[in-house]
């Protein structure tokens, strides 16, 4: 390849990236929200502060450059990198750190946010109850909302293109130290302060697409 062709190829790639026609590219941080993990009063509960200095900085909520063909309002989950992106206009996205449970790693594809719930009740799946008999007490009514509830302060419920519940959730978690890790159970978890921020941005419906990649 001669120099002219090489430069031309680089130029085309740059143009495509600027036009948002390809995914990837450098994720340069434009704004970081490290100071927003203090104690929060919400829905009658007092969410404890996260000792955010103990969470790797890459998992702090931040606005980054992000090239993607997906429309603003789309949620992109990268289970391998442990990031969730909420796509913004102008090749930007809000990036959140996530923890990915066993169920989350089994999932790849598309869905949409059908509905969302503040301080949700948790209903453990039958398979989980079989693995952990101590959860049998939640088999019928589920676990009441609260600071110890595994779904945390918010849950976003994902349905497939045919309108069926996928049983996958984007949810909060009181276990801030699980962010950036492969947790033992659950789907896609965020720190409670982050899931509240995401919840406030998302308007449920078919346009609230969720794309999961590995």
Q: In the chain, how many domains are there? A: 1
CATH label of the domain that carries residue 118: 2.40.440.10
Q: In which residue ranges of the chain is pLDDT below 50?
A: 1-22
pLDDT of residue 23: 52
Report how far Cα 103 is from the mean position of its chain's Cα atoms.
14
Q: Is 14 a domain residue?
A: no
Q: Is 31 a domain residue?
A: yes
Q: End-to-end CA distance of the chain, in Å?
A: 33
Q: Is 157 a domain residue?
A: yes
Distance CA 159, CA 109 (A): 12
Name the average pLDDT for the chain.
Answer: 85
Q: Is 7 a domain residue?
A: no
pLDDT of residue 126: 76
Q: Is 169 a domain residue?
A: yes
Q: What is the pTM of this model?
A: 0.84
Residue 191: Cβ-neighbour burial (10 angstroms; 0-12, 13-18, 19+): buried
Q: Is 36 a domain residue?
A: yes
Range of the domain at 154: 26-213
Q: What is the pLDDT of residues 158-195, one digit of tens each?
A: 999 999 999 889 999 999 999 999 875 668 999 999 99
Catalytic residue positions, numbered: 171, 187
pLDDT of residue 3: 29
Cα–Cα distance list, 125 to 105, 115, 131, 138, 160 (Å): 17, 19, 10, 10, 18
Q: Is 2 a domain residue?
A: no
Q: What is the pLDDT of residues 100-113, one digit of tens each?
A: 976 555 667 999 99
Q: Is 159 a domain residue?
A: yes
**Two tokens, residue 86:** 């909420």
């Amino acid at each position: 390849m001669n120099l002219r062709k090489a430069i031309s190829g680089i130029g085309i790639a740059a143009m495509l990236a600027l036009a948002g026609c390809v995914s990837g590219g450098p994720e340069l941080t434009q704004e970081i929200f490290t100071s927003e993990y203090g104690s929060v009063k919400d829905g009658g509960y007092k969410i404890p502060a996260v000792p955010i200095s103990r969470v790797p900085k890459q998992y702090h909520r931040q606005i980054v450059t992000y090239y993607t063909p997906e429309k603003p309002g789309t949620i992109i989950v990268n289970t391998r990198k442990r990031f969730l992106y909420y796509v913004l206009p102008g090749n930007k996205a809000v990036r959140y750190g996530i923890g990915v449970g066993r169920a989350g790693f089994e999932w790849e594809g598309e869905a949409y946010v059908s509905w969302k719930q503040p301080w949700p009740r948790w209903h453990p799946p039958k398979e989980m109850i079989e693995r952990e008999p101590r959860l049998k007490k939640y088999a019928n009514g589920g676990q009441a909302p609260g600071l110890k509830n595994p779904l945390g302060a918010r849950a976003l419920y994902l349905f497939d293109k045919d309108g069926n519940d996928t049983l996958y959730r984007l949810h909060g978690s009181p276990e801030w130290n699980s962010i950036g890790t492969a947790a033992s159970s659950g789907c896609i978890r965020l720190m409670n302060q982050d899931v509240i921020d995401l919840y406030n941005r998302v308007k449920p419906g078919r346009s609230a697409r969720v794309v999961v990649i590995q």
